[in-house]
Amino acid sequence: MKKILILLLTIGFVFMSSCNEDTFLKEEPKDNIFAENLFLNYDGFVNGLNAMYALVREDREGQSNTTRASLWQMGTDNVFVNGGAAAFDPFNDYNDLNSENALVSANFNWLYRIVNSANLIINRAENTPVDWMGTNDAADLVNQNKVIAQARLFRAWAYRHLRYGWGAVPLSLQEIEGSTYRSDWERNSIAEINAQMVIDLKFATENLEMREDVGLVNAAVAGTMLAEVYLDMGENEKAEIEALKVINSPEYQLMTTRFGVDASEPGTAFTDLFINPMPKNDNREVLWVLNNAYSDVVGNSYLNMKSIWNSYYSKDSKLKKYDLNTLYTYNGGKGTGRLSVTDSAFGWYGSTDDRYSEYAVKKYYIFPTDDSATSFNIIGTTKMVYSKPDDLEDNFLWPWVRKWEYNDPLFENASKNGQYDDQMFMRLAETYLLAAEALMKNNKPDLAASYLTTLRARSNASAVTASEVTMDFILEERSRELVTEEYRKHTLVRTGTFYERTVQYNPRLDETKVFEYNEYFPIPQDIIDANTGAVMPQNDGYN
């Protein structure tokens, strides 16, 4: 546990320092930025928060063309592992998942780095003298509370992952210094974790604006997260209230008509969202965006969404004969196909649904007829064909959801795996889906159907009647709208449907390869071993 909880002293702040990380963590104040030197004024806290934003964006980064977020998406009803990496392989057969899994361990440690960095900022903001750089006492208090609110939201964001990933986990709320280091952590209950998340998120909703500067978290993000926590707690009326606050705010709206740079080109309002993720592009649906910049900009880093979701089509025996940079340029960029959407999930779309149109799902491959690239030939099609589960391993022509396609601005870089585009991290559609779930659970099926119909109408999907509003329908609507965005396993764990839906709909998993206890991951063995002062119980099924 020491390795995850002792890193509190400016974890992540190496993003702002030229110091070598190994040296930086040796606590040499003359050579490094420490909390005592950084958190003297409002600007110092802003720099500290910037480091936290960098930690959170690791959600879409990872080694070997993976993402941290994959852990909460694969091995579920709507996502299977296609071109696996070592740590991914057990999610095609949970018998092989154990407490030594590298991704499980890395994510657990990463989340506690976020928790502990948040605790550091909260403690210093609340308990040390700071020049808050306001024009008066009231302005000072606003600045102070904005800093604390962002840190509290990040702490809740991390505990959300921990709660759904591992269930009961240690609840750490204090800055960890030498005198407060512990090796006797105990697992707090899910109820205790949720209660703290409510406290943190309520503070954020009360002290952040509904819309903050682009890239920053805000009250809409906090309110959407709070609605989900209330649903998890069975506080459905509170969930309804929080979701509708966000939906009814004038700052946001569903984008129901064409907009943005390609509005005059063939496409759909739904796919315009991903081409134009920024508010400056008239996107009023995005609640939280990840700002990005190209590789020559200091402080940026590439994301892996394209690489992990686009199939590895250039490995196909026919397609690999074409010039690869040209092939990538006109087909959404190079992919490695780590993860794929299940055929069942693709089957949940109706025939008129834009979310399954050729603009939203890759269905064929094109190549220019000449150097002018004014016309193209279709040189192949995607295929959902298999006779047995093993046929889905390295299935190079499987279709993909096109949300994360990316063309590098330099043709010679077309074969690179990373991407440097801005990306939506949370959007209003998810708030609509949480509202519909809360309304259904509050015995208001007519209103739930109305919100679902409004969302579906944007994509030319059919209207929903009150009698159709069930948990299964909402789960499948969440997939239709949010697949590859949603942390799907969280949703299935929260609704108690992980096992039954995964067995029913994942083509690579059956009753011999996934079990009810797999709704939670194993506690990493290094955490158990380091917690020498108390027993850290392992989750059921992994002993």
**What is the end-to-end Cα distance of the chain in Å, rounded?**
19
Task: Give per-residue pLDDT as tens, 193-235.
Answer: 999 999 999 999 999 999 999 999 999 999 999 999 999 999 9
The yes-or-no verdict on residue 32 having pLDDT over 90 is no
The yes-or-no verdict on residue 406 having pLDDT over 80 is yes
Q: What is the pLDDT of residue 296?
A: 56
Task: Give 137's contacts (C-beta < 8 A, 6+ positions apart).
Answer: none
The yes-or-no verdict on residue 308 having pLDDT over 90 is yes
Task: Give per-residue pLDDT as tens, 485-502.
Answer: 999 999 999 999 999 999
Q: Half-sphere exposure of residue 101, counting CA atoms within 13 Å on the CB side?
A: 22
Report, in this order, helix, strand and coil percent for the chain, each rounded to 5. 50, 5, 45
Q: Are 115 and 55 in contact (CB under 8 A)?
A: no
Nearest of 406, 145, 155 to residue 294 by alpha carbon: 406
Write the burial class of residue 260 (CB in 10 Å: 0-12 exposed, 13-18 middle, 19+ buried). buried
Task: Give per-residue pLDDT as tens, 63-121.
Answer: 889 999 999 999 999 999 999 888 999 999 999 999 999 999 999 999 999 999 999 99
**CA-to-CA distance for 434 and 245, rounded, in angstroms?**
12
Structure tokens at 499: 């096992």
Task: Give per-residue pLDDT as tens, 165-198.
Answer: 999 999 999 998 776 788 999 999 999 999 999 9
* Domain(s) of CATH 1.25.40.390: residues in the chain: 1-190+515-543
Task: Give 457's contacts (C-beta < 8 A, 6+ positions apart).
Answer: 256, 463
Task: Give 518's contacts (C-beta < 8 A, 6+ positions apart).
Answer: 75, 94, 97, 498, 499, 541
**CA-to-CA distance for 35 and 178, rounded, in angstroms?**
14
The CATH class for the domain spanning 1-190+515-543 reads: mainly alpha
Structure tokens at 141: 């208090």
Q: Which amino acid is at 110?
A: W
Residue 332 per-residue DSSP state: T
Pairing of strands 79-81, 423-427: unpaired
Q: Are 73 and 498 in contact (CB under 8 A)?
A: no
pLDDT grade, residue 380 (50/70/90)? very high
